[in-house]
Amino acid sequence: MDPSNNTNVLPAALKGRAILPGLVNAHSHAFQRVIRGRTEYRTISDEDNFWTWREMMYSAAARLTPEDIYDASRMAFLEMALSGITAVGEFHYLHHAPGGNAYDDPNLLAKQVVRAARDVGLRIALLRVAYARSGFEVDPDPQQLRFIEKDAGLYLKNVSKLQKDLNGEKGMAWIGVAPHSVRAVPLNFLKEMVAFANDELLPVHMHVAEQAAEVGTCIEEYGRSPVALLATEGLLSERFTAVHAIHVTPKAVRMLAEARATVCACPTTERNLGDGTVPIDEYFKEGVRVSLGTDSQVQIDLLEDARELEYHLRLQKMGRAVLTEGTDTSKSALAARLFECATVNGSRSINLPTTTPESGEPADFFTVDLNDPSLAGASEDDLLTHIVFSLSRTAIRDVVVGGKRIVENGRHAQQEEIVERFKALQKRLWG
């Protein structure tokens, strides 16, 4: 996106500032902002892991009202805006009232999330999640009653209605389909969803191989791993984003590459939950595009996620500059590759409307203060490397979305009210 189209929204003098294209957060569960700091202790279980964390997350999800979801989402989106994120892919799976009863409007909670993004000023792809069961040969979990729509026809009817309702958002809000995972969506349901998405040219996002247990169960049910199942059933495409895709074989990596699918890595959440490390080096070798997501909102800093793609591999490989392409030794090559994950690849993943100088549409961008201590001493040759590997969020000064400045000099116009309402929500939930 070209910030040159936005000369009227910032002061003429930008001395000491650099302008960069807006960051794109391709995978978010905004409501999970309410559990930040609430799960960082050992439970009574002998072993804490993703599955024990999930139970704590469910207990919070079960208590949220529509207005709570709005306030939690607005808090998450505010943090995104303050960190330079201008668009988000919201993987939304809260559909029903507590106890599982349907609202009169089955998209009520999705619209609360869209409303929150609109009020903060972010673009949003509402990736409406399908959740049909608790798992293969698993008894229904009462904590998942707010998620579940057992019938593919009902799910697609609700998606179509939401699609129609968002038609007037003019590039600020649109939909995608999101089968939660192979454990939550059986194959026949999954095929109907993907066929619908293909007909409507919608993005498809899905949790894939996040947990080793998920891979084992998929093999038990279908005789194939999750990626192999998707590939052999013809469900992968350039519109498909495999979220996490950690526990994969080299053959699975090639399958994703051949389908021109995207992988969305969420390094901060993946290390927080002990999921494992996404094999980014293998994806890059095969030409797979990698986008980034903040996922559980334990920390909202997409540039931190970008640098962790490299840093996690350094710990594994005990070497440096692991993700450098070929023999390229230029100073900014690695930073440019990681920055592309946080921008261009994210845009493609969520089907972000593109703007060009020729289109006349204003672009999305953010500015950084070159005098911020985290950037002090950076030169033109290594500025991008400083930004990707060392930028502090205090350096981000302005954020512009669609020609509208939503952050000015490091502050959002609604910041105090958003924070106060979120603090009140937390007090009600946890006090």
The residues annotated as belonging to the active site are: 244, 295
How far apart, in Å, are the Cα atoms of 311 and each of 125, 317, 331? 29, 10, 17
* Paired strand residues for 398: 367
- Distance between CA atoms of 155 and 188, rounded to whole angstroms? 13
DSSP assignment string, 136-186: TT-PPPGGGTTT----HHHHHHHHHHHHHHTGGGTTSEEEEEEE--TTTS-
How many Cβ atoms are within 10 Å of 226's Cβ, its own excluded?
26
Q: Check if the beta carbon of residue 218 is closer than 8 Å to that of residue 183.
A: yes
Q: Check if the beta carbon of residue 217 is closer than 8 Å to that of residue 186.
A: no
Residue type at 325 in one-letter notation: E
- Distance between CA atoms of 24 and 316, rounded to whole angstroms? 27
- Distance between CA atoms of 45 and 48, rounded to whole angstroms? 6
Q: How does strand 404-408 pair with strand 411-412?
A: antiparallel
- Distance between CA atoms of 102 and 154, rounded to whole angstroms? 12
Q: Check if the beta carbon of residue 142 is closer than 8 Å to that of residue 55.
A: no
Q: Which two tokens stand for residue 110?
A: 């999705």
Sign of CA dihedral 344, 348, 349, 352: positive
How many Cβ atoms are within 10 Å of 388's Cβ, its own excluded?
22
Phi and psi (nearest 5°) for 8? -90, -5
How many Cβ atoms are within 10 Å of 252's Cβ, its own excluded?
23
Angle at 24 (CA atoms; ends 310, 55), nearest 5 degrees: 75
How far apart, in Å, are the Cα atoms of 352 and each of 35, 238, 298, 398? 29, 14, 25, 21
Angle at 303 (CA atoms; ends 24, 399), nearest 5 degrees: 55
- Distance between CA atoms of 255 and 21, rounded to whole angstroms? 31
